[in-house]
A and B are shown apart, each in its own frame.
Chain A
Amino acid sequence: MSEANILPTASPAEADVERPLRRLVRMYAESRVALFGLALLLVVILAALFAPWLAPQNPYDLMQLDMLDGRLPPGSASGDGRLTYLLGTDEQGRDMLSAILYGLRISVGVGVVATLMALAIGMALGLAAGYFGGRFDAILMRIADIQLSFPSILVAMILLALFGQGIDKIVIALVAAQWAYYARTTRSAALVEGRKEYIEAARLLGLSTPRILFRHLLPNCLPPLIVVAALQVAAAIALEATLSFLGLGLPVTEPSLGLLIANGFQYLYSGRYWISVFPGVALLLLILAINLVADQLRDVLNPRLQSQ
């Protein structure tokens, strides 16, 4: 083995090729709107996480509510003078700011948990369908087709009508309504990646099927999945808000944003806009932030742009 056979170390320019992750961060930061979306999303998520410390009042604790403070406009002081209702109060004297912070917590939590569960289920099924193909693939994809031909709100409403109310029930309904998106996306990515030669090489090297699936195939299927998951979080939150607005979602004792909007909706024409509008604005900002981030992720993770 002579030294002459060793190729020279790559030139510095070659060695400086950016790590994929760093390049993604740089490409993401190229859009100001996307950075704004990310900042907004962080603010909303932090507000939701720290709601118990940020909120002036615990809206779930009926002892803290004063019925006499009901339907006060934004900026009014409470009857006992201890706090100012920055965003007004609803008909039970609940501080809207506190209710919105706690509602965000539920909306974000339900959306994220439902998305992660649907992602796990859809990913596993789609990966198996794409890699093994055959009868399993055909049956699974026909089920997904049938389900996707119904609006997801209809699927969720049928399930909630069967199960009844509750935070666990609504998560199940959201998972059932959304797993098919992940299954389809994973399957199509797995079909493309599974035909590549590195999968054949892994098989020849005697690696086990689970190892090939999860260590070789899955990581290469992730980029489109991340985009779909990000968009579907927003869809799940909107769906949950819709169901709650219709009175099918969460119980009245733990109001999510949708339920808050529904509560104030009847007062809109009497000039008490704040009960409905502020939770609506919060929901809007949350979904807008997620969509801005997801849109930029889709551009950044686009394989056609990656080759540049």
Chain B
Amino acid sequence: MSAQQPIQAAALQQAPVNTPGSEPATGPLLELRSIRKTFGAQPDWLERLGQRLGWLQPAATVQALDGVSLSIARGEVVGLVGESGCGKSTLGRIAVGLHAPSSGQRLWRGTDLDALPEAERRRVGLGIQMIFQDPYASLNPRLRVRDLLAEAPRVHGLIDRPQQADFVAALLRQVGLDPAVADRFPHQFSGGQRARVGIARALAVKPEFLVCDEAVAALDVSIQAQVLNLFMRLREELGLTYLFISHDLGVVRHLSDRVAIMYLGRIVESAPTAEIFSRPAHPYTQGLLAEAPTLKVEKKRFLAIRGELPSPLAPPRGCHFHPRCPHAFERCREEVPMLGEVAPGHVSACHLHAIGVEASSVSEG
């Protein structure tokens, strides 16, 4: 499997790594290069001894991300879609720096973030914030909204004490909350209001890039729309860049400029939003779109994707999707397909493209 990695990585054009300090005018804001992440720690000497003596079973390792590359331009909104357990949340947590990748690079404006000294990385890291899924667990229940919002800017010297009240009021107004709620505790808010407080907390340190990890999944549908509109308004007002992680195609379609589809630790397709919804190239994307419920009353055949996501403890050889793919042939079981361009700005990783067969035509035939 490791032999396949260079191919995948090489498929993407790579800008040279800049030395810290220089800021290129163009180029992606955040670039992830062939990120791999394995969960399940490497055994240390004590555990190796235990395994040798037969007391311990070797720990199972999960390959959560298998050489994922993704670059996001300034001002762009990228939607990341996939089933539960495909590694999209792990990728989001690596993008913001909560997890360290097992291998691969994280470039911010062309600078390798993990090569920076600790203090510098912490400062730069403020520019990348995350909006969390659970509006209940993501706010410290012991802090008033005022302290939730003002703590980090105070610590980092962005504001001083006299400015605090105005600062908090402005933030609350920006996310559509009444500034009078600054004295409240999180448990005094509804889910949608908590989501807004969470967004305000991220905005407090003036980020340029927001990773939204299923940020509206826990909210009622009517509230979802309000919060999504808030995201769009903030994008216009503050020039934010988003990585929007979701399992909900409708949400992503509404919001994104570009959509990347993940399957079991790999990105299988990436294209501008309109393109991917009108002309999906990868069989998995086609299956996902076919499954999305529509209001059209027609005799719908549920030719949806068979089976379940395979266990990441023992991923299938070759293309990870082949056990569920209606078009799988011999080569899919042996060789990992690499991302290749099927249209300008539209890449897909499927062997069907290489042999010149359109997956959709096969399924219709």
Contacts and interface: CB of A to CB of B under 8 A. Distances in A.
Interface residues of A, number: 30
Contacts of B129: 204-205
Given A203-B98, A204-B96, A206-B155, A198 B139 contact: yes
Contacts of B133: 197
Nearest to B185: A20
Interface in A38-88: none
Given A198-B138, A200-B98, A201-B132, A10 B151 contact: no
Given A200-B130, A206-B155, 10 more contacts: A6-B178, A17-B187, A198-B140, A200-B93, A201-B132, A201-B202, A204-B96, A204-B97, A206-B156, A220-B142
Contacts of A215: 151
B5 interface: no
B130 A206 contact: no
Nearest to B155: A207
Contacts of B140: 198, 202, 216, 220
B122 A206 contact: yes
B137 A196 contact: yes
B318 interface: no
Interface in B167-217: 173-174, 176-178, 180-181, 185, 187-189, 193, 196, 198, 201-202, 204-205
Contacts of A15: 188
Contact of A10 (B97, B139, B181, B196): B181
B134 interface: yes
Given A17-B188, A220-B142, A6 B193 contact: no
Interface in A198-230: 198, 200-208, 211, 215-216, 219-220
B102 to A, nearest CB: 17
B193 A7 contact: yes
Interface string A122-164: 0000000000000100000000000000000000000000000
A-B interface, 6 closest residue pairs, ranked by CB to CB distance from nearest: A205-B152, A197-B138, A197-B132, A196-B137, A198-B140, A219-B142
B178 A7 contact: yes
B299 interface: no
B152 A206 contact: yes
A6 B205 contact: no
A215 to B, nearest CB: 8
B125 interface: yes
A259 B178 CA distance: 63
B123 interface: yes
B174 A220 contact: no
Contacts, number: 91
Interface in A8-25: 8-10, 14-15, 17, 19-20
Interface of A: 1, 5-10, 14-15, 17, 19-20, 135, 196-198, 200-208, 211, 215-216, 219-220
Given A197-B132, A204-B98, A207-B151, A1 B174 contact: yes
A204 B130 contact: yes
Contacts of A9: 178, 180-181
A206 B132 contact: no
A196 B142 CA distance: 14
24 contacts: A1-B173, A9-B180, A14-B188, A19-B185, A135-B44, A198-B139, A198-B140, A200-B130, A200-B138, A201-B198, A204-B125, A204-B128, A204-B129, A205-B129, A205-B152, A205-B201, A205-B205, A206-B122, A206-B126, A206-B156, A207-B152, A208-B155, A211-B155, A215-B151
Contacts of A198: 137-141
Nearest to A222: B142
Nearest to A3: B173
B201 A201 contact: yes
Nearest to B174: A1
Contacts of B139: 198
Nearest to B205: A205
A208 B155 CA distance: 9
A131 to B, nearest CB: 14
Contacts of B233: 5
Contacts of B130: 200-201, 204
Interface string B134-149: 1001111111000000
Interface in B269-307: none
Contacts of A205: 126, 129, 151-152, 155, 201, 204-205
